[in-house]
């Protein structure tokens, strides 16, 4: 068995490059068998024990990818935004750290795609919770979830949706000026968004209210 052979290489050539390659191969075997937790542990041990090895970027990428693989969608589970997001947060942090440390690596394109997907999942979760609070008339809690999403997870592609939702919450809170500012910013920054119609409708509603008050 390959794992046994790699173990023998590690034992016989403990302080050589061959031993380090054997460690990586054992981690790869776990990854290929979808034993992601074991693979992550092995890759982390490699990066910790061999900080200057040329294969550290590879191991770091595989950690990030394994974490991403653990965040799976299946018909047997609730929608992604309704689930606990601990694993998604771990993947987000690892992917962000990898791209910070190795922005030009040959794996950066894949890492950017996974980060975009992961960021979207985290933002969708925050918007899901915000809408839940909104239905409960817990406007302050609802606004905080949207504000957190906009502040923390940049580049999700969901900013227009989040901003329109925040404006809706502000209107429920009677914070008309704040709602107008958010909507104006959204229309200025994302003029081609599918949410522009909703933003303009809210602004017309606000103008209608102001006109009625003026009369």
**DSSP letters spanning 130-149:** HHHHHHTT-HHHHHHHHHHH
Q: CA–CA separation, 129 vs 124, rounded Å?
A: 9
For the stretch 100-117, pLDDT in tens is 999 999 999 999 999 999
User: Considering the entire predicted model, what is its pTM?
Assistant: 0.81
Contacts of residue 150, Cβ cutoff 8 Å, sequence gap at least 6? 159, 162, 163, 166
Per-residue pLDDT band for 86 (boundaries 50, 70, 90) equals: confident
For the stretch 180-203, pLDDT in tens is 999 999 999 999 999 999 999 989
For residue 6, what pLDDT is reported?
Answer: 52
Is 106 exposed, middle or buried (CB count within 10 Å of its CB: 0-12, 13-18, 19+)?
Answer: exposed
Q: CA–CA separation, 118 vs 106, rounded Å?
A: 20
User: Is the pLDDT higher at 164 or at 83?
Assistant: 164
């Amino acid at each position: 068995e390959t794992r046994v052979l790699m173990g023998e290489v590690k034992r016989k050539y403990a302080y050589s490059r061959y031993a380090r390659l054997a460690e990586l191969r054992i981690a790869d075997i776990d990854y290929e068998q979808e034993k992601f937790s074991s693979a992550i542990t092995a890759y982390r041990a490699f990066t910790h024990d061999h900080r200057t090895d040329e294969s550290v970027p590879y191991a770091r990428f595989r950690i990030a990818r394994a974490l991403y693989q653990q965040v799976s969608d299946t018909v047997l589970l609730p929608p992604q935004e309704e689930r606990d997001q601990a694993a998604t947060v771990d993947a987000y942090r690892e992917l962000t750290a990898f791209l910070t440390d190795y922005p030009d690596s040959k794996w950066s394109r894949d890492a950017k795609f996974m980060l975009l997907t992961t960021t979207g999942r985290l933002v969708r979760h925050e918007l899901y919770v915000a809408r839940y609070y909104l239905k409960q008339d817990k406007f302050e809690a609802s606004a905080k979830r949207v504000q957190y999403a906009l502040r923390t997870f940049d580049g999700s592609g969901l900013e227009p949706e989040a901003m329109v939702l925040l404006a809706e919450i502000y209107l429920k809170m009677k914070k008309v000026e704040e709602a107008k500012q958010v909507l104006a910013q959204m229309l200025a920054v994302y003029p081609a968004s599918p949410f522009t119609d909703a933003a303009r409708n809210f602004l017309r509603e606000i103008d209608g209210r102001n006109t009625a008050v003026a009369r």
